[in-house]
Amino acid sequence: MYLSIDQLPSRVVTAVLQLDTGGEASATIWEPQAAFIEQTNAWRFIERLGFAGREEFLRFSREEPERFWDEMLREMRVEWFHPYHQVLDLTNGPEWTRWFEGGRINIAHNCLDRWAAPEAYGAERVACVWEAESGATGQLSFADLQREASRVANGLASLGLEEGDRVALALPMVPQILSILYGCFKRGLTVVPIFAGFGANAIAARLHDSGARVLFTAERIERRGKSLPLAAKMPAVEHTILVGREPLFADQPEEAETAALESEARAFLLYTSGTTGKPKGTIHTHAGTLAQTGKEIWLGFDHRDTDRFFWLTDIGWMMGPWTILGNHLFGGTIFLYDGAPDYPAPGRLWDMLERHRITTFGVSPTAIRMLAKSAVDLPPMESLRLLGSTGEPWDEAAWMWYFERVGRRRCPVINISGGTEIVGCFLMPLPIQPLKPCSLGGPAPGMATEVVDEEGQPVRGRTGYLVCTRPAPSMTRGIWGDPQRYLDTYWSRFPGMWYHGDWASVDEDGQWFLHGRADESMNVAGRKVGPAEVEEAILQHPGVAEAAVIGVPDEMKGEAIVGFAVPRPGAAVDPVAICATVAEALGAMFRPREVIVATELPKTQSGKIVRRLLRQKYLGEPLGDLSTVANPAALDDRSPS
């Protein structure tokens, strides 16, 4: 369903763009100095290409994609078994663009083999540092990882798997996921990561849709001191391999050839969360995945050889593979954590950042809002130099807590937004640019991102639809088994443009912001408003820590707003006062019909609030399958007051 924004009242747009409670547009809070800018990868790349500044460079990257992506791959020193002769081929239209034609490549060579070679880089270069919830820690060198991956590659070949076959993994964030990934890539197999916290039905749906022949899983998973069954909820596949303390395929040789694959060869099937219908299997290639993930780590997160990169995520979500491959392309060290970030104590996450000397840390806004509830003192974390975030729009209070308490006002927040469908970002600030709270900076290099109105025309100073006007290497090559659904979902709203389904805006200073999903919008008395705008207004109430809103049928207005608010610890909140806060911020028209105070909100395993279930519970409708919900008990006490 596509929703019009042509009747969106100006005071709502103003409230969206003016992010602080004082009514003035938020001022720039990150202003990098010349000495900082000049030492970044982004600035050196811009200078090498002969551009005077960031805007000129970004314009070039959008308008000359062939030259940009060719230069980007050279900048990142991506290695090819055979060079490509054409950057992109639009013969079948932008929806079915082919990239790096004629080239042969493999992720495993670029992200593993060349960094394990002792004559070139040293055998003990560290690929991964890891920690379990129990406190166990360890590290893995690229040389050790190459030996393990080779055994996996040989073991899978011995099972009769051939290039293009699918291999699924439903595992906690353990180091063995690395050898499984690279072992599959070596043989040209397609990896299907599945979040281990899903219910049995959700896992079965993804396994069935993908046609996976092999499943790697574990007997149990440890969370908050409890041992939970994992293998028991897995359906039967041709081969199920349990991952534990023993080496995988210990009887196999520790050397395996890495296949020279076509640039368009499949690397991944990445599934969307499935909270709004059947999961979509997005298809990602070896060359496209390397181009996008590497570009973002190199330019956006300013990779350095001494970095230790940690994103609080899971292998079952896009940010898991993104973290691994984007950093390993440069021989970088990643940190993996398997466990709850606030267990056994609220400060667990921050203590890990301090102990392991993490330099780059990424997290979702929801996680920060949760962690900020605790009054623990944070360690200095002086090793940090950049912060990251993704997944949903920020509210300014949580963004400021992250910037000030975690980053000590000295680390830019590289707030990125894209999706599983592109295994990367449409919007991404560069660390060399000024930033406002909650800003995503602007279009990522090489991404022809735009904000448009109903007619597909660019707009500024108002909310519009986020689109991409040119193809990019990492865009999904369709939806697995359903090419028409791919065209209908992403290419039918605005012909020739990728429609991403987000509401976005660009303010008077050229800073870009997101405002939630366009297809979750509410129509109140003929006026459209997105949930993120109303939720941000609720969060302006000093006693509210988290918020969600839904639209429900209303005899007079057509649709009314119902809010849900989670109080801050020790705070007593008055629903009437929260309604008044919203009316003051957005206008009386958008005053919620009621606000329900709750102890927690239902969320997916990746931390996104499931508004659909809040609405169904409120209206007394059947909730259906809750297997993708991390905390279904949050719905137990959900009832109108």
- The total of structural domains in the chain comes to 1
Strand locations in 235-332, DSSP E?
239-242, 261-262, 266-271, 281-285, 308-311
In a domain, 559, yes or no: yes
In a domain, 36, yes or no: no
Model pLDDT, residue 202:
79
Mean pLDDT, contiguous 10-residue spans, the chain (641 residues): 34 32 62 96 98 96 98 98 98 97 98 87 85 96 97 98 98 97 98 88 90 97 92 96 96 98 98 63 98 98 97 94 98 97 95 98 90 90 97 89 97 95 97 97 98 95 95 98 94 94 93 84 68 87 94 81 94 94 82 94 84 91 83 70 38
In a domain, 613, yes or no: yes
In a domain, 416, yes or no: no
In a domain, 606, yes or no: yes
In a domain, 238, yes or no: no
Q: What is the CATH number of the domain that holds 624?
A: 3.30.300.30
Model pLDDT, residue 122:
58
d(CA 635, CA 640): 12
Model pLDDT, residue 10:
31
Range of the domain at 589: 523-635
Model pLDDT, residue 113:
97
In a domain, 307, yes or no: no
Strand partners, 223: 226
Model pLDDT, residue 492:
95
Long-range contacts of 397-401, Cβ-Cβ distance < 8 Å, separation of 24 or more: 397/539, 398/365, 398/368, 398/369, 398/372, 399/365, 399/437, 399/438, 400/437, 401/368, 401/372
In a domain, 617, yes or no: yes
Which DSSP letter does residue 445 get?
A: T
Model pLDDT, residue 584:
83
Model pLDDT, residue 470:
97
Taking every pair of Cα atoms in the chain, the longest distance, rounded to a whole number of angstroms, is 75
